[in-house]
Structure 1
């Protein structure tokens, strides 16, 4: 960093790190000592000797003044750079940041060395002595000039080091700029969540789970208030983001809680009505099974025998879960009520499917018993369509496509032959037709995928 960039009035971010983090710069007591020595000897000084001696004394004094100025510039640059390093180390814990801190410490030791050399040179020569000899003045000038050159050299090293901190310092100052707004947003989110929770409770809803979640954020708010100087900037930013996210979630759920309660009430009524309707429908399964047993072979209906008992059991379980859900609603245990209602819905869905299966089975068996030809033609069409696609652009079909289609033809023929008996198994016939059509559809899909990939 150049001396211009190192000056405090060009570094709002450096000043911000002291304001935000409460950092205090360490004093550099050498300055007071050195400057006192550099500019000592006020008042009227007597000059003796004249001529060459006075010239040597003047040259030595000029060298001393130049060294003092170089020392002051180095000290000022070091102070400014220390602010930048403290900014970086407070925000950044990456290897690059640690390397910068170590590099500054090494430079500090180098500065101590040249400062000690300078102070030693100043203390070794009293240029105000009346009996100062020309040789002593010349030696003083030499040592002070050398000390000044070393100070200037180290100042250059410090400036080059500072220039290399640009990206790290920009990153640190960017995070510092985010810090105060992030903390403030988190506080406002907590306030909004608390206000929303108070409004919900005012409407008669307890919202105990939301209150517990909001209370759990209290320690996090305490740490935010303690500041980044204690907990670090990255950790404070992460904490602020986390508090913001969690508080907004609480507020959103609190705002939606009245709607959620109304929705649960509506679902309770709807599912009770549906359970009652299913009870009535389940009672109609026995007459359907009776007709199936009277008109068709056992293979067509025996898998449906347990349906009435299973349906009644499922409806009873659903009604029990509905009572539990109603109790959870009264106690305002919203997650429990929601989970129980989902269980009720699943039970009623499976019962509905089982009850519907009996009526659907009778309808399909009646249709195929009256006219099996329609089912046969539908299946043959699916096979022929797959065969045409398999032969498109070819003289002979691919065995991977031809073989399953040939098997499907044989399966169709055997199923049709099975209808010739006195008591045909129509359900087996329907299942075979579905299986053959699935085979044909699979071949069609396979051919299209292969040709699409080849294209």
Structure 2
């Protein structure tokens, strides 16, 4: 039986209402399966972003396993997606001649496919939830990336600015410029991004660039001050060398008086002082000239090293020249009256002996023996002053040695008592 409807015809028959209901149910099942398919696809794409984030940052065994597991999920998703598409393509729910049996079969297969899609989606979501710690760690690393790269760029910019200012003041700073230029490849890789070089490597590179650039900037900013300090040291050491040259010329008269008034033992170790002083001052002058040249050529490290050598030479010479004058002064004093020096030494011994006996009935042999020996050394030194030209220098050196020994005993006693010993 047919019925006219707007000039067309439509098949009518027994149970046509039931067929239409089944068609509607099948269409609803198709829509639900389509929604499940879309949700699974969305979940897969979202999780792929998470896996890519983890893989970009983390190369640990758990991260590699997560990537493998996701690839396996991809195969399963491809399978259920293919099944879904096949089912949809095999049922034309818009056919006019769709009967009740075809609609029922379509609904059943679409419901089954929807269930598979939802089951895989559930498993995928549980897998995604298990990646929480890995993903959090990776996101934290990524959060460090952009600021780290920006800090590196800013550090390079600051170093370049400091270098420009230094050059503007007339200093070349060639070494610093070379070190800054050596960072250019790193800057290129930072600009190429973590996608090409990896997040961890990029962050580490950024930190390294920051450290190097900050060192360069600091050295550049200190360079004018260092240059001024080198200029000041050049002037000061030049003045000192000139003064020492004058003082070194006064050693010969001192030695002449020592030879005239005292025995050879009192001055023979000083005989080479004038010659050595002259040689040292000459060497200092040569090193100063080399340091000035290094300063003019802005070889800062060489200039600093040369100035340190000059200072050491002048210190040694100054001590030798000073020793000759002090020797004459001390010998003059002791030759007029050795009693005062001897008594100072004996007083130091007695003071140490009182300390050793404090709180004791008998002295500790470890303290008594060196103190008794000190008394004997003083007596022998005084007794050695015989002849027309006594060896006063021997007396002085012996008394100095005795005082050093006594001080050692005093220090030992105090340390023991401070530690609770007796």
TM-score (norm 2): 0.83
Deviations 1:390-437 (A, max 9, x none): 333333333333332233233223223223555432212212222222
Q: Would the aligned equivalents of 2:26 and 2:106 in 1 still touch at CA under 8 Å?
A: yes
> Secondary structure in 2 aligned to 1:412?
helix
Map 1:199-278 → 2, pairs under 5 A: 199-200=168-169, 203=170, 205-278=171-244
Aligned to 1:370: 336
RMSD (Å), alpha carbons: 3.3
What is the alpha-carbon distance in structure 2 between the residues aligned to residue 158 and residue 51 of structure 1? 45
Deviation readout 1:104-142 (Å, 9 max, x if unpaired): 331331342154135325524744462535884575267
Q: Is the 8 A contact 2:252 2:274 kept in 1?
A: yes
Aligned partners of 1:64 and 1:141 also within 8 Å: yes
Distance 1:60-1:371 versus aligned 2 partners, 3 A rule: farther
Gaps of 5+ in 1: 1-43
Q: How does 1:3-402 map to 2 (within 5 A)?
A: 65-93=31-59, 95=60, 98-117=61-80, 119-120=82-83, 123-124=86-87, 126-128=90-92, 130-131=98-99, 132=101, 136=105, 140=109, 143-144=112-113, 146-200=115-169, 203=170, 205-402=171-368
Number of matched pairs: 406
> Any idea what SS the aligned residue of 1:165 has?
helix
Q: What SS class does the counterpart of residue 384 from structure 2 fall into?
A: helix
**Contact 1:63–1:144 under 8 Å retained in 2:** no
- Tell me, yes or no, if the aligned pair for 1:299 and 1:425 is still in contact at 8 Å: yes
Q: Matched residues in 2 for 1:243 and 1:286: separation?
A: 61
- Change in CA separation of 1:374 and 1:71 when aligned onto 2, cut-off 3 Å: farther
How far off its partner does 1:265 sit?
Answer: 3.2
Name the CA shift for 1:249/1:172 in 2 (closer, same or farther; >3 Å): closer
Check whether the contact 1:189–1:244 (CA below 8 A) recurs between aligned residues: no
Shift of 1:68: 3.9
Q: 1:406 to 1:63 in 2, by over 3 A?
A: farther
Structure 1 residues 166 and 435: CA distance shift in structure 2, 3 A: same
Do the aligned partners of residues 208 and 218 (structure 1) sit closer, same or farther apart at CA in structure 2, a change above 3 Å counting? Answer: same
2: CA distance, partners of 1:113 / 1:422: 116
Q: Provide the rounded CA distance (Å) in 1 between the counterparts of 2:328 and 2:211.
A: 57
CA distance in structure 2 between the aligned counterparts of 1:46 and 1:249, rounded to whole angstroms: 91
Greater mean alpha carbon deviation, residues 217-226 or residues 298-307: 217-226
Change (3 A) 1:173 1:92: same
Paired residues of 1:186 and 1:241 also in contact (CA < 8 A)? no
Q: Distance in 2 between matches of 1:313 and 1:140?
A: 108
Q: What SS does the aligned partner of 2:152 have?
A: helix
Deviation at 1:378?
A: 1.9
Deviation at 1:272, TM superposition (A): 2.5
1:238-269 alpha-carbon deviations (Å, 9 max, x no partner): 33343344334444444444444443333333
- C-alpha spacing 1:299/1:66, structure 2 compared with 1 (3 Å): farther
User: In structure 2, how many angstroms separate the alpha carbons of the residues matched to 1:441 and 1:48?
Assistant: 129
Local SS of the residue matching 1:214: helix
- Specify whether residues 57 and 88 from structure 1 end up closer, same or farther in structure 2 by C-alpha distance, changes over 3 A only: same
Aligned-partner Cα distance in 2 for 1:71–1:446? 90
Distance in 2 (alpha carbons) for counterparts of 1:393 and 1:53:
122
Q: 1:263 to 1:148 in 2, by over 3 A?
A: closer
Between 367-376 and 304-313, report the one with greater CA deviation.
367-376
